[in-house]
């Protein structure tokens, strides 16, 4: 049943027909001539096709609407929001929902008749649901409440919230369904259902509405061939007719009416909320808009809760790193660090075992591999992954390691190099156990067989074929946050390992000290100071400032939308951006300023003898400069900066940095590409 609807050929999105719940007029790009109309114009506007085609746009639209559309579309390809107008039809006034947009050197205007009945009830219902959504603190509860709220507003039989995975397959993660026998909760749908062309269309118009899959579509008069104009792309509108493939898809899943609303996060399609009705049903434009507003509100809340979870995870990682930093002044056997902190790291990263591999030493905790097998894994990694910052795999049985070692039930591996020496890198290895997972696919067998090599079982569970796939050799995926955090942890371990080596190799003290300075003080990517060196500099400056009574301040900043750079251009280009940014900032600082990479895309500047006003001025100069720089491949980027003047004698380094971090977060929350001064309010840290 997983038909590739609407994309079997390139002309599908230019079907010259619309659904019958509205009408359409095509004008030239200057709104001076009517080129085409839908053949149901008489039923909707009370104007015959012949009359419309022989009339002027002003006569058909009215001078007020004509002028309004000209102004709105002069600098935009689409109305920002639909217009509500009253128009006399057959002697009485009718309200219309009007959407206009540019398409193929034309202006398209859609008219959808509106009914006043029922719209008055929407506002209090929507407001009540919005209030409830705003108070939910748990993501799964929020997702379930979202589908409930949309069903309450629209009345659809089934409302599904589906999330895309990394391969663009969808899984229904929340649902309300009036017929329990037709529930699709936790079912999976292949990427071919909504391929790239259709997904891209959702960036133009996040809503797709079908009132009756069996209703006839309404053609245009004259056809584009008759008047030698390009076929219209109706993606930006609401009336776009169904392709045969979309129609067949809905019929095969036994759905007569549908509404789909795309959900976008981090500039990428995150998922889709899909409403199904088992009989034809037309909902009002107000109900569609209400559903869309509920989705927008809920997803913003969801992403905020996800950001909070990520922040808590990163805070726990930071606390662990600070504990590890405390060991830097001691000479601790590196393997002892794994004994001390390994169990905490296993819990933090949700893994079953950790191995530390450097030089000829291997230390394991939890469920890993045999020592000699860990050494084999390390040798393979050193030759196979090159200069990548880490290697993450959730299906080791499909990797070359399956032939090198006995993986047993180890299916996930996150491998991070330890930057000890250029010629001999160590490894931090985190292992995850294989999880037995059962996927219930709503799709045709031949489509699923192109996705997986696992055997399939057939089941007739929902009145159409369901294919059950059992996966036994796959682990939970490593998130980007986990990968970044593991890299930070590996850097700290590398420092600890280096300190131990220096203490042990007294006969090579000069070489070892040089190595320590390089590894412990310098960020390997940008060649500026790293976090550890900046912590030392801040501690020294705070002590001097307090002793001699001069001010000092810090600037904490990061790159806006940096994840989008990595997602769009790849991490190699992202690394180039960070390196170029470091060079640009370094060139604008005084010799007395200290500059380092704080972690990821975050950087920090320590400016001596500068109070808040001077530091804010420096921050603004840096912000403007970076905004003006054109980076290779990416183009322009921006930064958000938090500025804090040290409260001498009143706060620790950690509290100073926390105040700057809160100011930076405020800068990002209020629009990015700006600076914010920290308040004098101290944390409890």
Nearest CA to 139 among 310, 303, 339? 303
Shared domain for 636 and 583, answered yes or no, is yes
List the domain range (segments joined by +) for residue 82: 13-113
pLDDT tier for residue 384 given thresholds of 50, 70 and 90: confident
Shared domain for 352 and 386, answered yes or no, is yes
Could you tell me if residue 217 is inside a domain?
Answer: no
| Residue that is last in its domain, among 113, 144, 177 | 113
Q: Which residue has the higher pLDDT, 330 or 10?
A: 330
Please answer whether residues 397 and 390 qualify as being in contact, where contact means their C-beta atoms are separated by less than 8 angstroms: no
Hey, is 216 helix, strand or coil? coil
Taking the alpha carbons at both ends of the chain, their separation in whole angstroms is: 57
* DSSP line for 261-297: EEEEETTEEEEEEEEEESS-----HHHHHHHHHHHHH
Shared domain for 419 and 568, answered yes or no, is no
CA distances from 634 to 150, 288, 524, 562, 570 (A): 39, 37, 22, 11, 11
Answer yes or no: 601 catalytic. yes
DSSP structure class, residue 223: -
Q: What is the pLDDT of residue 122?
A: 84
- Helix then strand then coil, % of the chain, to nearest 5: 45, 25, 30
Q: Does residue 490 have a pLDDT over 80? A: yes
Q: What is the CATH number of the domain that holds 102?
A: 3.30.450.20
Q: 531-548 and 509-521 are packed helices; what angle lies between their axes, rounded to 10 degrees?
A: 80
Q: Does residue 507 have a pLDDT over 50? A: no
CA angle 320, 323, 328 (to 5 degrees): 125
Q: What is the pLDDT of residue 445?
A: 83
Q: How far apart are CA 366 and CA 479, in angstroms?
A: 21
| Residue that is last in its domain, among 113, 144, 172 | 113
CA distances from 291 to 21, 238, 349, 659 (A): 19, 15, 37, 39
Tens digits of residue pLDDT in 186-221: 999 999 888 899 999 999 999 999 999 999 899 999
Q: What is the CATH number of the domain that holds 578?
A: 3.30.70.270
Sign of CA dihedral 493, 498, 499, 505: positive
Most confident of 155-169, 450-464, 496-510: 155-169
CA angle 268, 274, 280 (to 5 degrees): 145
Q: What is the pLDDT of residue 58?
A: 95
Sign of CA dihedral 158, 159, 165, 167: positive
pLDDT tier for residue 387 given thresholds of 50, 70 and 90: confident
Shared domain for 571 and 644, answered yes or no, is yes
Strand order through the sheet with 552-559? 593-599, 602-608, 552-559, 639-645, 675-677
Shared domain for 482 and 361, answered yes or no, is yes
Q: How far apart are CA 620 and CA 626, in angstroms?
A: 10
Q: What is the pLDDT of residue 106?
A: 95
DSSP structure class, residue 82: -
Tens digits of residue pLDDT in 513-561: 566 566 668 898 999 999 989 999 999 999 999 999 999 999 999 999 9
CA distances from 383 to 222, 325, 356, 451, 662 (A): 65, 30, 18, 30, 42
The region of weakest confidence among 349-363, 403-417, 524-538, 590-604 is 349-363
Q: Which residues of 60-91 are buried (b: 16+ CB within 10 A; e: fewer)?
A: bbeeebbebbbeebeeeebbeebeebebebee
Q: What is the pLDDT of residue 342?
A: 85
Q: Does residue 359 have a pLDDT over 60? A: yes
pTM attached to this predicted model: 0.65
Beta strands in 185-323 (DSSP E): 187-189, 207-210, 218-221, 257-265, 268-277
Shared domain for 466 and 498, answered yes or no, is no
Q: What is the CATH number of the domain that holds 496?
A: 3.30.450.270
What average pLDDT does the segment 229-240 reach? Answer: 93
Q: Which residue has the higher pLDDT, 654 or 444?
A: 654
* ω into 654 cis (within 30 of 0): no
| Residue that is last in its domain, among 463, 487, 511 | 511
Question: Which parts of 600-652 fold into alpha helices (H)?
Answer: 612-628
Q: Does residue 360 have a pLDDT over 80? A: no
Could you tell me if residue 536 is inside a domain?
Answer: yes
Other CB atoms within 10 Å distance of the CB of residue 407: 20
Shared domain for 628 and 577, answered yes or no, is yes
Q: What is the pLDDT of residue 683?
A: 65
CA angle 397, 482, 571 (to 5 degrees): 85
Please answer whether residues 25 and 237 qualify as being in contact, where contact means their C-beta atoms are separated by less than 8 angstroms: no
Q: Which residue has the higher pLDDT, 128 or 420?
A: 128
Tens digits of residue pLDDT in 41-86: 999 999 999 999 999 999 999 999 999 999 999 989 999 889 999 9
Q: Does residue 616 have a pLDDT over 90? A: yes
Tens digits of residue pLDDT in 134-156: 999 999 999 999 999 999 999 99
Could you tell me if residue 27 is inside a domain?
Answer: yes
Could you tell me if residue 451 is inside a domain?
Answer: yes
Place of tokens 């047993």: 408
Average pLDDT, the chain: 87
The region of weakest confidence among 234-243, 395-404, 414-423, 472-481 is 414-423
pLDDT tier for residue 307 given thresholds of 50, 70 and 90: confident
Structure tokens given for 19: 């659904």
Could you tell me if residue 534 is inside a domain?
Answer: yes
Q: What is the pLDDT of residue 75?
A: 87
Domain count within the chain: 4
Q: What is the pLDDT of residue 386?
A: 76
Place of tokens 């049985």: 397
Place of tokens 């705070």: 542
Could you tell me if residue 684 is inside a domain?
Answer: no
Q: Does residue 300 have a pLDDT over 70? A: yes
Shared domain for 380 and 443, answered yes or no, is no
pLDDT tier for residue 492 given thresholds of 50, 70 and 90: confident
Nearest CA to 598 among 525, 671, 677? 525
Q: How far apart are CA 109 and CA 174, in angstroms?
A: 36
pLDDT tier for residue 119 given thresholds of 50, 70 and 90: low
Shared domain for 390 and 449, answered yes or no, is no
Nearest CA to 612 among 552, 656, 660? 552
Could you tell me if residue 531 is inside a domain?
Answer: yes
Shared domain for 353 and 417, answered yes or no, is yes
pLDDT tier for residue 462 given thresholds of 50, 70 and 90: low
Shared domain for 507 and 553, answered yes or no, is no
Task: Please write down the HEC assignment for all residues of 475-537.
Answer: CCCCCHHHHHHHHHHHHHHHHHHHHHHHHHCHHHHHHHHHHHHHHHHECCCCCCECHHHHHHH
Catalytic one of 601, 645, 651, 658: 601
Task: Please write down the HEC assignment for all residues of 386-420.
Answer: CCCCCEEECCHHHCCHHHHCCCCCEEEEEEEEECC
Partners of residue 597 on adjacent β-strands: 603
pLDDT tier for residue 248 given thresholds of 50, 70 and 90: confident
Shared domain for 359 and 343, answered yes or no, is yes
């Amino acid at each position: 049943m997983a038909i590739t609807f609407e994309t079997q050929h390139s002309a599908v999105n230019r079907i010259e027909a619309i659904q019958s719940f509205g009408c359409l007029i095509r004008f030239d790009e200057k709104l001076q001539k009517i080129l085409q109309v839908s053949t149901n114009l008489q039923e909707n506007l009370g104007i015959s096709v012949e009359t419309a085609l022989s009339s002027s746009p002003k006569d058909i639209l009215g001078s007020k609407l004509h002028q309004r559309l000209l102004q709105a579309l002069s600098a935009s390809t689409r109305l920002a929001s639909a217009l509500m107008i009253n128009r006399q039809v057959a002697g009485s006034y009718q309200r219309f929902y009007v959407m206009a947009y540019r398409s193929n050197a034309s202006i398209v205007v859609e008219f959808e008749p509106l009914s006043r009945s029922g719209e008055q009830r929407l506002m209090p219902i929507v407001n009540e649901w919005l209030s409830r959504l705003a108070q939910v603190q748990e993501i799964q509860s929020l997702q379930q409440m979202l589908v409930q709220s949309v069903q309450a507003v629209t009345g659809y039989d089934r409302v599904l919230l589906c999330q895309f995975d990394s391969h663009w397959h969808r899984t229904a993660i929340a649902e309300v369904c009036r017929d329990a026998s037709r529930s699709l909760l936790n079912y999976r749908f292949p990427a071919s259902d909504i391929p790239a062309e259709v997904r891209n269309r959702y960036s133009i118009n996040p809503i797709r509405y079908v009132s009756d899959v069996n209703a006839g579509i309404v053609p245009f008069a004259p056809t584009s061939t008759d008047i030698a104009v390009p076929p219209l792309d109706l993606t930006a509108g609401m009336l776009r007719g169904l392709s045969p493939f979309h129609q067949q898809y809905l019929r095969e899943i036994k759905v007569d009416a549908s509404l789909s609303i795309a959900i976008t996060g981090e500039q990428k399609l995150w998922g889709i909320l899909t409403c199904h009705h088992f009989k034809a049903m037309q909902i009002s434009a107000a109900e569609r808009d209400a559903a869309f507003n509920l989705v927008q509100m809920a997803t913003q809340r969801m992403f905020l809760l996800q950001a909070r979870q990520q922040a808590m995870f990163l805070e726990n990682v930071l606390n662990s790193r600070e504990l590890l930093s405390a060991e830097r002044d001691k000479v601790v056997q590196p393997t002892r660090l794994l004994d001390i902190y390994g169990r905490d790291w296993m819990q933090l990263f949700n893994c079953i075992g950790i191995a530390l591999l450097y030089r000829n030493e291997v230390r394991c905790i939890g469920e890993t591999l045999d020592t000699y097998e860990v050494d084999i894994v390390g040798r393979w990694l050193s030759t196979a992954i090159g200069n990548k910052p880490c290697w993450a795999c959730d299906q080791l049985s499909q990797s070359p390691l399956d032939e090198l070692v006995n993986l047993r039930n180890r299916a996930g591996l996150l491998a991070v190099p330890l930057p000890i020496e250029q010629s001999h890198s160590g490894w931090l290895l985190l292992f995850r156990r294989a999880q037995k997972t059962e996927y219930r696919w709503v799709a045709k067998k031949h489509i699923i067989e192109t996705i997986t090599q696992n055997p399939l079982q057939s089941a007739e569970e929902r009145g159409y074929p369901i294919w059950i796939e059992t996966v036994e050799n796959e682990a939970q995926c490593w998130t980007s946050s986990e990968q970044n955090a593991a890299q930070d942890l590996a850097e700290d371990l590398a420092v600890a390992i280096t300190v131990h080596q220096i203490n042990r190799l007294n006969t090579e003290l000069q070489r070892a000290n040089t190595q320590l300075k390089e590894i412990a003080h310098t960020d390997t990517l940008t060649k500026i100071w790293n976090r550890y060196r900046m912590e030392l500099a801040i501690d020294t400056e705070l002590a001097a400032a307090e002793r001699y009574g001069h001010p000092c301040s810090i600037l904490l900043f990061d790159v806006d939308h940096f994840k989008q750079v990595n997602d769009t251009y790849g991490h190699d280009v992202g690394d180039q951006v960070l390196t170029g940014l470091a060079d640009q900032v370094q060139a604008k600082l005084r010799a007395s300023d200290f500059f380092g990479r704080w972690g990821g895309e975050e950087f920090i500047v320590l400016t001596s003898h500068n109070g808040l006003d001077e530091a804010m001025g420096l921050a603004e100069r840096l912000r403007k400069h970076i905004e003006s720089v054109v980076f290779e491949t990416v183009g322009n980027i921006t930064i958000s900066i938090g500025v804090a003047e040290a409260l001498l004698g009143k706060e620790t380094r950690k509290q100073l940095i926390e105040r700057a971090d809160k100011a930076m977060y405020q800068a990002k929350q209020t629009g990015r590409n700006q600076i914010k001064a920290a308040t004098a309010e101290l944390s409890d840290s």
